[in-house]
């Protein structure tokens, strides 16, 4: 058995007449379909929360990264100073034992300049002109980024920042930065 079709028509403005059920069912389906689909993406609140979390994490990680870089530079500085001081001491020991020939006047058997440790010293008993080298190269200062180091003579004041030029007794970094404990890196 078939239901009778409604004689009533749609009113102006898009509403359906009371007896037209097919239009009402279609309208409900449209509403359900519209509510069932969800738009993809983030809301403004979600974006603000995510951005705030990222900002907090970034501000916490920057000081840690800086501290790690400083600690690595400090290790490099200690290693470079120890390596060069060992080479200076080895030169002094060889000179005191007479392996490097007669010492130059006023040097007290310390090297005249830092470059001598790299260039080498001609051995006096060697017929073929063999040289004895104490360093492969002068390392770069990790704080200044150059191979220029502060030099001290054995006749200079231990706290002096000027070199007398007689010999190389000690070296130090030329940076004016301070270590976390408050000491100057130049005093290491």
Per-residue pLDDT of the chain (188 residues; tens, 9 = 90+): 555 554 445 445 555 555 555 555 555 555 555 555 666 777 889 899 999 999 998 888 888 888 899 999 999 999 999 999 999 999 999 988 888 888 777 778 889 889 999 998 888 877 787 888 999 999 999 999 898 998 888 777 777 777 777 888 889 998 888 888 888 888 88
Domain assignments of the chain as residue spans, ordered by start: 79-187
In this prediction, residue 53 carries a pLDDT of 94
In 3D, which of 165, 154, 161, 166 has the Cα closest to residue 185?
Answer: 161
Q: Long-range contacts: 170-177, Cβ < 8 Å, 24+?
A: 170/85, 170/88, 171/81, 171/84, 171/85, 171/88, 171/114, 172/81, 173/77, 173/81, 173/141, 173/143, 173/144, 173/149, 174/141, 174/144, 174/148, 174/149, 174/150, 175/141, 175/143, 175/144, 177/143
Upper half-sphere CA count for residue 150 (Cβ side, 13 Å): 18
In this prediction, residue 7 carries a pLDDT of 46
CA–CA gap between residue 127 and residue 38 (Å, rounded): 91
In this prediction, residue 20 carries a pLDDT of 52
CA–CA gap between residue 148 and residue 150 (Å, rounded): 7
CA–CA gap between residue 153 and residue 24 (Å, rounded): 102
- How big is the chain by its Cα radius of gyration, in Å? 41
* Residue 185: exposure state from Cβ atoms within 10 A (0-12, 13-18, ≥19): buried
Rounded to two decimals, the pTM is 0.65
Q: Tokens representing 102? A: 């007669």
In this prediction, residue 138 carries a pLDDT of 93
Q: Tokens representing 124? A: 């006096």
Phi/psi at 15 (5° precision): -80, 150
């Amino acid at each position: 058995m078939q239901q009778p079709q409604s004689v009533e028509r749609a009113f102006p403005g898009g509403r359906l007449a009371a007896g037209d059920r097919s239009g009402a069912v279609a309208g409900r389906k449209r509403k359900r379909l519209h509510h069932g689909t969800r738009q993809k993406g983030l809301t403004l609140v979600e974006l603000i929360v995510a951005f705030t979390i990222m900002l907090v994490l970034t501000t916490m990680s920057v000081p840690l990264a800086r501290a790690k870089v400083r600690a690595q530079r400090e290790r490099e500085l200690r290693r470079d100073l120890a390596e060069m001081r060992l080479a200076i001491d080895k030169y002094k020991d060889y000179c005191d034992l007479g392996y490097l020939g007669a010492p130059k006047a006023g040097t007290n058997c310390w090297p005249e300049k830092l470059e001598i440790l790299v260039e080498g010293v001609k051995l006096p008993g060697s017929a073929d002109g063999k040289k004895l080298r104490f360093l492969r190269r002068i390392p770069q200062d990790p704080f200044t980024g150059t191979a220029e180091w502060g030099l001290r003579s054995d006749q200079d004041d231990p706290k002096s920042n000027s070199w007398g030029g007689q010999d190389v007794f000690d070296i130090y970094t030329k940076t004016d930065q301070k270590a976390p404990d408050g000491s100057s890196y130049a005093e290491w």
